[in-house]
Amino acid sequence: MVDVVLPCLDEASALPWVLERIPPAWRAIVVDNGSSDGSGAIASALGACVVYQPERGFGAACQAGLLAAEAEFVCFCDCDASLDPGLLPVFVQEVADGKADLVLGRRWPQGRGAWPVHARAGNLALSWMVRRRTGLRLHDLGPMRAARREPLVGLHLTDRRSGYPLQMVLRAADAGWRVSEVDVPYLPRAGKSKVTGTWRGTWHAVHDMRTVLSQPPLPVPASGGEDAQ
């Protein structure tokens, strides 16, 4: 019924915690994006479906996982133990009940260092730009989300770096999808962040997202709900 896409780059220490929290009967799809710490082998040994994506980039990993998914519903979640995939059934239920077409996790930092100030500031700025561009009153553009698989594939997402999550929201909004938020605790991640752990990484992410924001709307499916199938 549900596949969970977990983009992964050197997350060996976090994988056991993350995978044990995948809801029963759901399938974890770990997309190894060039790990050097044996993450792929660890995920496979823990029962996950492992996809190897040599093209580096968050978007490249997410899209590879989406294309490997087969279930009616697809979720996305970071693989660094900062977000609990055990909370995802609430997201899927909102989509299944027809309350939303795309559900995003609104992160609430738990503990010191869970969400650096520079990363939070960048997220707020992007949320404001999304509101101005689409009218969606979102507070967060975080990586934890859920939607139906076929409509997601139909969005024809092209960004292969940090702009992927934003492009998903923009194209969903342009298609008239209902986008909602669910509050989720945001924990200090295991290991060092590849993106928001540094000012440089944050700048590159914001640059990617500004590029996506500048793109003109494209024709996409009119609905993310059951009629789109």
Tens digits of residue pLDDT in 117-127: 667 767 777 78
**DSSP conformation class of 123:** H
- Alpha-helical (H) ranges within the chain are 15-19, 39-45, 58-68, 88-96, 117-134, 149-154, 164-174, 199-213
Query: What's the confidence (pLDDT) of residue 228?
Result: 42
Whether the predicted pLDDT of 70 surpasses 80: yes
Whether the predicted pLDDT of 136 surpasses 70: yes
Query: What's the confidence (pLDDT) of residue 130?
Result: 87
Q: 186, 155 in Cβ contact below 8 A? A: no
CA distances from 204 to 56, 147, 162, 165, 223 (A): 14, 27, 8, 14, 32
Average pLDDT of the chain is 88
Burial per residue of 63-99, b for 16 or more beta-carbon CB atoms within 10 angstroms, e otherwise: bbbbebbebbbbbbbbbbbbbbbebbeebbebbbeee
d(CA 114, CA 189): 7
Query: What's the confidence (pLDDT) of residue 229?
Result: 39
d(CA 139, CA 131): 9
Structure tokens at 218: 């494209």
Structure tokens at 170: 């923009």
Alpha carbons within 13 angstroms on the beta-carbon side of residue 38 total 6
198 — alpha (psi -120 to 50), left (phi > 0) or beta? beta
Alpha carbons within 13 angstroms on the beta-carbon side of residue 106 total 10
Whether the predicted pLDDT of 196 surpasses 60: no
Q: What is the pTM of this model?
A: 0.87
User: CA triplet 222, 141, 72: central angle to 5 degrees?
Assistant: 50
Query: What's the confidence (pLDDT) of residue 160?
Result: 94
Query: What's the confidence (pLDDT) of residue 74?
Result: 98
Whether the predicted pLDDT of 189 surpasses 50: yes
